[in-house]
Homo-oligomer: A and B are copies of this chain.
């Protein structure tokens, strides 16, 4: 730890954040370690508690640290999962019985078991919300909301919308969609997928999302809307919120 430079242009809270960041990067504090408490740092630097909190606010926003009320602040673990968009939907994976998320986690070397680590939040027939209706039409759809938990941390919320006539009579209607996931069932039902689009934005997590992903207030999330087409028809829209610090999205484009 370096002493504070009170005469510096750099704000005190930033200097403290710099110190802690350096300690984490050099490995003085490893993943999962508890960082010094607010009162420790107040004593060490001779500053106010709010100033220490301000410093932690930065590190938390950076995804380097997380806070547990009543317990302490800890170094965030694992690096991002690389999500190979152009490979994860490959038919060969579906044939091998693997859904896309499982492919990602396996390639990232994470411990993930689709039988235990997916929570069904909602499963019903209904009308699509407005911004999904633009993509999939206004007929009745099957709505599947689920939360993916990896190594104890919720990484992703996904809500799939499938036109009822596409889903009906398949395992898409039930909690367990079977090997290869939704896309395998859609293709078995006679809709051969031709192309998939993904639209990616970065947003600050709304309150529901923030709570379900166990994120700090103000944390960014990746909002990804995927649309799968069979010919000209959209046969699935998947609305996904991902922990922004936990993923790297990887795409391959043709150079037409």
Contacts and interface: CB of A to CB of B under 8 A. Distances in A.
A130 interface: no
A62 interface: yes
A201 interface: yes
B251 A228 contact: no
Given A202-B245, A248-B199, A89 B58 contact: no
Given A218-B57, A244-B220, A199 B250 contact: yes
Given A57-B218, A222-B202, A248-B200, A195 B62 contact: no
Contacts of A136: none
A255 B198 contact: no
A193 interface: yes
A201 B80 contact: yes
Contacts of A22: none
B198 A251 contact: yes
A244 to B, nearest CB: 4
A14 B204 CA distance: 14
Interface string A76-120: 000010100110011100000000000000000000000000000
Contacts of A90: 256
Nearest to A64: B204
A160 to B, nearest CB: 16
Given A57-B218, A61-B218, A218-B57, A195 B91 contact: no
Contact of A196 (B57, B229, B245, B255): B255
Contacts of A193: 255
Contact of A194 (B63, B199, B244, B255): B255
Interface of A: 14, 57-58, 61-63, 80, 82, 85-86, 89-91, 193-204, 217-218, 220, 222, 228-229, 244-245, 247-256
